[in-house]
């Protein structure tokens, strides 16, 4: 059952997160979870880090081994592996449209950022772009929504958000869109 759920989750990520990169934008990368071989617990391995997982029915606990200084740390929360970008590991909690992103700095061995998001993550020039549900108080800031969405009970707003890995800074763009939320 655990392997079936993991396979469904990976297929969901692959279908939800297309891995297309426009021409001349080598820096852009859509993050998707890797397809793992059966019975393996190594989720990432390069010259600097080896990341292993301990599966659980509600996610995984990760152990990150730093090959240079021979130290390791283990994550505290159950989550799913998203990927590694530079010296950062991205995990998420949840398998529906609303998920929680967690970014670990593999050098300091600490969580540097956590936030909820919908859709997929896109990394462009060391900036993680994502969308999150927000409440917009000021009517003049709300985007114009299609009547179909207004008529349904479940209209919500997403804001385009950015996390800059170079500056360790969270950026609100003020760019909103209308979506249907359950």
* Two tokens, residue 138: 């000021």
Q: For the chain, how many structural domains are there in total?
A: 1
CA 96 from centre of chain: 12
Looking up residue 169, the CATH number of its domain turns out to be 2.40.128
3-state secondary structure of 177: strand
pLDDT single digits (tens) 98-153: 899 999 999 999 999 999 999 999 999 999 999 999 999 999 999 999 998 888 88
Q: What is the DSSP letter of 144?
A: P
pTM: 0.76
Domain span at residue 54 reads: 2-180
- Bigger pLDDT: 68 vs 8: 68
Query: Which helix H or strand E contains 62, and what residues bound it?
Result: strand 59-66
Q: What is the dihedral of CA 129, 111, 64, 54, to 10 degrees?
A: -90
């Amino acid at each position: 059952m655990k392997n079936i759920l993991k396979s469904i989750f990976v297929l969901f990520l692959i279908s939800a997160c297309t891995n297309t990169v426009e021409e001349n934008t080598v820096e852009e990368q859509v993050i998707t979870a890797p397809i793992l071989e059966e019975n393996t617990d190594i989720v990432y391995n390069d010259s600097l880090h080896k990341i292993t997982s301990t599966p659980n029915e509600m996610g995984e606990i990760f152990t990150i081994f730093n090959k240079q200084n021979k130290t390791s740390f283990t994550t505290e929360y159950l989550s799913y592996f998203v990927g590694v970008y530079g010296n950062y590991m991205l995990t998420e909690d949840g398998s529906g449209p609303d998920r929680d992103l967690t970014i670990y700095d593999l050098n300091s061995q600490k969580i540097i950022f956590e936030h909820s998001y919908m859709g997929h993550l896109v990394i462009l020039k060391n900036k993680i772009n994502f969308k999150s549900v927000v409440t917009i108080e000021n009517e003049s800031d709300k985007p114009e929504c299609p009547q179909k969405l207004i008529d349904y009970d479940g209209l919500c707003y997403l804001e385009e958000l950015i996390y800059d890995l170079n500056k360790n800074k969270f950026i609100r763009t003020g760019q909103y869109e209308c979506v249907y939320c359950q």
